[in-house]
């Protein structure tokens, strides 16, 4: 079933069990998760603190420009983009630069990282967090450990070839993860990052609707999921940023959201949605 090592290649007899399990995995993952607040609390108590997490052990996260951000006090929110880069990513980077916002980009290897190396380099050079979204967007819980490793390691190597640094974060396609995915992620030095806010921008080109969906779900310590490969998404970003700033939010990357904790390889991070 989804979410376990057992029966990853299941037969027809397990169809009903798989369907029931699908309900769980579509909502995120079926393994234990850690919230940003829990990560920070653990670091504050001396567990999982980072000596190099942009601020030092017990310190604050810093923006790439050096401005300190303390997400225990500030109303922080992380803007993340999946499945790029694409043809609209340079325009998105222009917007983020103009708005002085840094984001986290979960990049696809095949047909994206390899097609747009200059854009990948620009993402890194402009202070955004470069992360892994697999090589071909395969559902990792439907594959064995070797295939999971191939999907992640090929993207790690392709990004490192361009930026000189392997990512430390990854996002499993559709948010589906299990013990095997976690084990391989740990082996490759990758933490898993899910989300709490989504515009479902794959289902609409209406930029106004995308903007409103994000604003309706926004909350402190939230992680926004968008895709810079869909037509309606990039035009929605300026309005999202402007309104959330007006509401007092501070935009951070995922490592800044967790600081002073260091993202732990294999761990799954997902914010709690407020009731």
Residues serving a catalytic function are 82, 227
Q: How many CB atoms lie within 10 A of CB 195?
A: 21
Separation of alpha carbons 78 and 71, rounded Å: 11
Question: Residue 274: which of 224, 225, 194, 218 has the closest Cα?
Answer: 218
Phi, psi of 128 (to 5 degrees): -85, 160
* Residue 266: CB atoms within 10 Å: 20
Residues contacting 246, CB < 8 A, separation 6+: none
Report DSSP state, residue 264: P
CA dist., res. 54 & res. 68, Å (int): 9
For residues 147 and 32, what is the distance between their CA atoms, to the nearest angstrom? 22
Spatial distance between the Cα atoms of 182 and 148, rounded to a whole number of angstroms? 10
∠ at Cα 266 (81, 117), nearest 5°?
A: 40
Buried b / exposed e along 31-58 (16+ C-beta atoms within 10 A)? bebbebbebbebbeeeebbbeebbbeee
User: Do residues 251 and 102 make contact, with C-beta atoms less than 8 angstroms apart?
Assistant: yes
Backbone phi, psi, residue 29, to 5°: -140, 170
Q: Are 167 and 240 in contact (CB under 8 A)?
A: no
CA distance 93 to 259: 24
């Amino acid at each position: 079933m989804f979410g376990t090592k057992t029966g990853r290649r299941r037969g027809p007899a397990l169809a009903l069990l798989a369907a029931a399990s699908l309900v769980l995995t579509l909502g995120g993952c079926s393994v234990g998760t850690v919230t940003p607040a829990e990560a920070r609390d653990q670091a504050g108590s001396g567990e999982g603190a980072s000596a190099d997490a942009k601020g030092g052990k017990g310190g604050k996260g810093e923006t790439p420009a050096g401005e300190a951000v303390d997400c225990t006090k500030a109303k922080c929110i992380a803007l993340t983009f999946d499945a790029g880069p694409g043809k609209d990513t340079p325009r998105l980077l222009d917007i983020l630069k103009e708005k002085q916002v840094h984001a986290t980009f979960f990049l696809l290897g095949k047909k994206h990282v390899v097609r747009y190396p200059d854009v990948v380099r620009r993402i890194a050079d402009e202070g955004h967090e470069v992360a892994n979204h697999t090589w071909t967007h395969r559902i990792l819980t439907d594959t064995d450990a070797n295939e999971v490793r191939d999907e992640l390691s090929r993207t790690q190597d392709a990004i490192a070839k361009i930026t000189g640094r392997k990512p430390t974060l990854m996002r499993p396609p559709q948010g589906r993860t299990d013990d095997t995915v976690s084990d391989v992620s740990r082996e490759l030095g990758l933490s898993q990052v899910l989300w709490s806010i989504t515009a479902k921008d794959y289902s609409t080109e209406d930029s106004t609707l995308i903007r409103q969906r994000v604003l309706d779900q926004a909350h402190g310590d939230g992680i926004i999921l968008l895709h810079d490969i869909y037509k309606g998404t990039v035009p929605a970003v300026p309005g999202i940023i402007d309104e959330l700033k007006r509401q007092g939010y501070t935009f951070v990357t995922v490592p800044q959201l967790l600081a002073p904790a260091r993202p732990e390889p294999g761990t799954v991070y997902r914010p709690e949605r407020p009731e």
